Amino acid sequence: MNTALTDVDATLNPDSATYWDGKSLIKRGAGTLILGAQNTYSGDTDVQEGALWLAETATIGSAGSAQAVNIAANAAFGGHNATVNGHVNNLGNLYFVDTFTVNGDVVNSSAMISGSDQPNNTLTIAGNYTGNDGHLYLNTQLGDDSSPTDKLIVTGDTAGSTTLHITNVNGLGAQTVNGIEVIEVGGQSDGDFRLYKGHVDINAWTYTLKQDGGDWYLRSESDDVPDDGGEVTPPDDGGEVTPPDDGGEVTPPDDGGEVTPPDDGGEVTPPDDDGEVTPPDDGGDITPPDDGGDITPPDGGDVTPVAPQYRADIGVYLGNQWMARNLQMQTLYDREGSQYRSADGSIWMRFKAGKAESQAVNGNVDIDSDYSQFQLGGDILTWSDGAQSVTVGLMGSYINASTDSTGNRGADGSQFSANGSVDGYNLGLYATWFADAQSHRGAYIDSWYQYGAYNNSVDNDGLSASRYDSAAHAVSLETGYRYDIALSNRNTVSLTPQAQVTWQRYSADTVIDDGGTRISGQNDDSWTTRLGMRVDGKLYKESGRIQPFMEVNWLHASDNASATFGDTKVSQDLPNDRVEVKVGIQANVSERLSVYAQAAGQKGKNDYGDASFSLNMRYNW
């Protein structure tokens, strides 16, 4: 029906499921009833089944009316540029398109949903609003303060609790100052509005819901003082981000024409425990008209600098990358312990475990990683002319690392975390040359190559979960020169200055997370150099030879781990220069078997630290 209803002494459509008693309206049946023009009947409107839709400029009730619109749990009600004069009690779904005004109080026990797939729709309640564990679904172009958004306006008071769900529409993220206003309250603002899962992430930005002066804003700034240092590349105005489909949208037609009602059998399911809203799924979608307007992006006006709130999972992506690269790094002594080896070759294995701490994006994200590695290798070729020797071998390792990441605190005091892991295998080969084939005094050169393939996972505080693959190549060249200082009883002290250079190439799949953010830009080359001094003593006892040692290194890295979230590049705050100290002991258990234990630590700027312990065993043929 597309008509106006007034108080009459008649029954409308007596053989149908919709009843009209002359003063009140009861909507039954699975179809959609469309009302147009001014409907001035004085009784209540009960939407018990299906959907009741108000066409453009349509009205229910007379001005100042005390009648009510009651929406049942399996029903839907809404309109386009329409007005309700009276109260609304919502147990189902209340849709609004363009502007929708309720001149009365609203009690929301289910869901109020923007019925367009674009922002700039407004639900105005000229009365009081009470959320009875209700839900509010809005579209927003997540950007700066000027971003277009749907909005709830309450001229009276608010009370109760409501969960706000935000669908990002082509927003790229940006710093806000005051924020994007999504709820305006004219009276006493006692209602508790909570953002679904606490935050919305797009590109590198995290948005939270903040109350200010009674109104509610989406804000991406933190409570920290801005830091002018470091590298953060803000997004440009280009590119699109496709928002996720949460199942709660109602698609408007393109021509801005009439409302197309659903066919028979269309039911509307109220929110489940997760707050999701399922629109009619039987071909009976409510199709309100489109306003036909394009969304104009923010004009990039002047913005007072504030510190941004970054999404927490930045640290997990960067931590996974750093752990894969870090666990490829090794020296000759790390790999095999002492330089003393059998002329016939050896087999060796190593277990390493440790913890690393670092930061990202100028200290705004904390990264904590725990890691372990099991490595196995053996010589496959040995050659010596009596004066010098060359050894070639194969090696492989399994690595596993878990990372916890915590973002900076938002303007509302919120702080979020994420976690993830990386695991995989490295395969490679090594070659070592000694100038002295017998005692290994003097010069040596060691080189190795490794290829690694890894599985990565990221869980962004329940908002999204991502899986992706990565790989890394590494080539190293190390040289040193050992000086022996003879002591009594065959004991010696050795000094070995060392130098090493390592090249790595890391690559990772592009990820599009559940929020529509494209995570890429992890493919990069890096160089690491090391200058160090090793001091070890060879102490001969009745039970065999014991070799304590200490090593100090200066590490210099050419590049940080980095990634691009949307159009925003973020980097780990790894210091370019780090100091490393290693201490340990090697013992010869027998003529063929030796055991090697080592503790190591690294320290650098930006609160970087790494502590590890490793245990090696080597068996000589």
What is the DSSP track for 466-513?
A: EEEEEEEEEEEEEEEEEEEEE-GGG-EEEEEEEEEEEEEEEEE--EE-
* pLDDT above 90: residue 192: yes
For residue 462, what pLDDT is reported? 84
The residue ranking higher by pLDDT, 531 or 541, is 531
30-55 average pLDDT score: 92
583, amino acid identity? V
| CB-based contact 241:566 (threshold 8 Å) | yes
397, containing H or E segment: strand 389-407
Confidence of residue 256 (pLDDT cuts 50, 70, 90): very low
Question: What is the average per-residue pLDDT within 495-510?
Answer: 97
Q: Structural domain tally of the chain?
A: 2
Average pLDDT, the chain: 84
Per DSSP, the three-state class of 320 is: helix
Query: Which one, of 621, 100, 184, 573, lies nearest residue 363 by Cα?
Result: 573
Asked if residue 267 is part of any domain, the answer here is: no
* pLDDT tens-digit readout, 46-56: 999 999 999 99
Which one is predicted more confidently, 225 or 143? 143
Percent of the chain whose pLDDT exceeds 70: 81
Q: What is the 3-state secondary structure (H, E, C) of 20-43?
A: ECCCCEEECCCCEEEECCEECCCC
DSSP E strands in 127-214: the ranges are 129-140, 151-154, 158-168, 180-185, 192-195, 200-202, 205-212
Domain termination residue (choose one: 190, 219, 248): 219
Residue 233 located in a structural domain: no
Query: Which pTM was predicted?
Result: 0.78
For residue 45, tell me if it sits in a domain: yes
Residue type, 414: S
Q: How far is CA 566 from CA 174, 305, 424, 436, 498, in A?
A: 11, 21, 27, 55, 42
- What is the SS3 assignment for 442? strand
Residue 252 lies in a domain: no
pLDDT given at position 270: 41
Domain boundary among 163, 185, 219: 219
At 236, is the pLDDT very low, low, confident or very high (cuts 50, 70, 90)? very low
Both 192 and 331 in one domain: the answer is no
pLDDT at 12 over 50: no
Q: What share of the chain is helix, strand, coil (3-state, %, to 5)?
A: 5, 55, 40
Q: Are residues 613 and 484 in the same domain?
A: yes
CA nearest to 131, candidates 163, 104, 97, 86: 163
Span 151-180, average pLDDT: 96
Decide if 536 is inside a domain: yes
Kindly give the residue spans of alpha helices, DSSP state H, lying in 498-555. Answer: none
What's the pLDDT at 385? 87
Amino acid identity, position 365: V
Residue 352, φ and ψ in degrees, nearest 5 = -135, 140
Amino acid making up residue 362: N
Cα separation, 116 vs 135, in Å, equals 17
Does residue 340 sit within a domain? yes
> In degrees rounded to 5, what are phi and psi of residue 335?
-75, -40
Task: Classify residue 372: in a domain, yes or no.
Answer: yes
Read off the CATH number of the domain in which 595 is found: 2.40.128.130
For 599, the enclosing helix (H) or strand (E) is strand 593-604
Check pLDDT > 60 for residue 575: yes
The DSSP code for 490 is G
- 67: tokens are 């009648």
Q: Are residues 93 and 203 in the same domain?
A: yes
Quote the pLDDT of residue 329: 97
Q: What is the dihedral of CA 150, 155, 160, 164, to 10 degrees?
A: 10
pLDDT-wise least confident of 188-202, 396-410, 428-442:
428-442
The span from the CA of 223 to the CA of 593, in Å, is 58
The whole-number pLDDT of residue 369 equals 98
Look up residue 595 and give its two tokens.
């055991």
pLDDT-derived band at 546 (thresholds 50, 70, 90) equals confident
Question: Are 362 and 509 in a shared domain?
Answer: yes
Which range (96-105, 394-403, 543-552) has the least confidence? 543-552
Averaged pLDDT, 395-403: 98
- Do 149 and 28 share a structural domain? yes
Regarding predicted confidence, which is higher, 539 or 261? 539
Mean pLDDT for the stretch of residues 333-343 = 70
Whether the predicted pLDDT of 152 surpasses 70: yes
Eight-state DSSP code of residue 605: T
Residues 211 and 106 reside in one and the same domain: yes
Out of 263-277, 300-314, 477-491, 548-562, the most confident range is 548-562
Gyration radius (Cα) of the chain, Å? 34
How much is the pLDDT for 234?
Answer: 44
Last residue of a domain, one of 169, 200, 219: 219
Q: What is the number of residues in the chain?
A: 621
Of the pLDDT bands very low, low, confident and very high (cuts 50, 70, 90), residue 296 is: very low
- Whether the CB-CB separation of 405 and 370 falls below 8 Å is answered with no
Element (H, E) at 324: helix 314-326
State the average pLDDT over residues 178-185.
97
Residue 10 has pLDDT above 90, yes or no: no
333 and 191 inside one domain? no
Which structural domain, as residue segments, surrounds residue 82? Answer: 19-219
Encoded tokens for 82: 């329409």
Residues 141/171, Cβ–Cβ less than 8 Å: yes
| Residue that wins the pLDDT comparison between 402 and 491 | 402
619 pLDDT higher than 80: yes
Handedness of CA 494, 377, 341, 354 (dihedral sign): positive
pLDDT of residue 509: 97
Give the least confident one: 16-30, 157-171, 499-513, 594-608: 16-30
Q: Which run of H or E residues covers position 323? A: helix 314-326
pLDDT at 44 over 80: yes
User: Would residue 258 count as lying in a domain?
Assistant: no
Lowest average pLDDT, out of 285-294, 353-362, 405-414, goes to 285-294
